Structure 1
Amino acid sequence: MAGNGAVVSGPQGGYPVEIFPGGFDEKFRCNSCTMILRDPVQSFCGHRFCKSCIQGVIRQGERVQCQSCINEGAGDDDDYSILKEEQMFPDNGVRREMANKEVKCINPGCSWTDVFKNYDRHAAECEYRPIICQECNAKVEKIHMEKHLRESCMGRKINCKTCNQEIALKDEQQHNKVCPKALVKCEACGKKKILREKLAYHQEKECANQKINCPVGCDPVERGAFVGHLERKAGLHIQWMLQQIEALGHEVNTRIQALTPVEEINRYGQMITVIQAKLQEQDNQIRALMDRNADQPRGNNQQEIIALNKQTKALDLKTGTFEGIVTTLHREIERCITALDTLERHRTGEQETNEELKRKIQQMERANSLKDVTITELDSRIRSLEIVSYEGTLVWKIAEWSKHRREAMAGRVTSLYSPHFYTGRTGYRLCARLYPNGDGIGKKTHVSVFFVVARGNYDALLSWPFIQRVTFMLLDQNNRDHVVDSFRPDPASSSFQRPTTEMNIASGCPLFMPLKKLEEVGTSYVKDDTLFLKIVVDAERPAGGGAV
Structure 2
Amino acid sequence: MGSHEMIPIPGTCLYMPIHGKKRSGHARLHYERMFCGYFNRELPLGSPYLVQGGFSHNSAKSPEAMGVRVVLVDEDKRERFKCPYCNEVFDKPHQAACGDRYCEKCLAELTSKDGVIKCLCCHETLNNSQSFKDSACQRELNALTVTCDWSGCEWKGKFHEFKVHETTCGFVLLKCDDCHEPVARNTMEQHKSRHVWSSSVERDGPAPGSMRDPVTLLTSLNDVPMWTSTETVRLANCEEEVQKLRQTVEELQASYSELMLIVQSLQATSYNGRYIWKIPEVARRSREAREGKTLSLYSAPFYTSRHGYRMCLRLYLNGDGTGKGTHLSYFLTIMRGEFDALLQWPFQQVVRLALRSQNPSKSDIRHCFKPDGYSSSFTLPKSDMNIASGCPKFAPVTTLNDDDFVRDDTMFLQCDIDQTGIEEIN
Q: Which has the higher helix share?
A: 1
TM-score, normalised on structure 2?
A: 0.48
Q: Larger relative CO (CA 8 A, sep 6+): 1 or 2?
A: 2
Report the structure number with the largest CA radius of gyration: 1
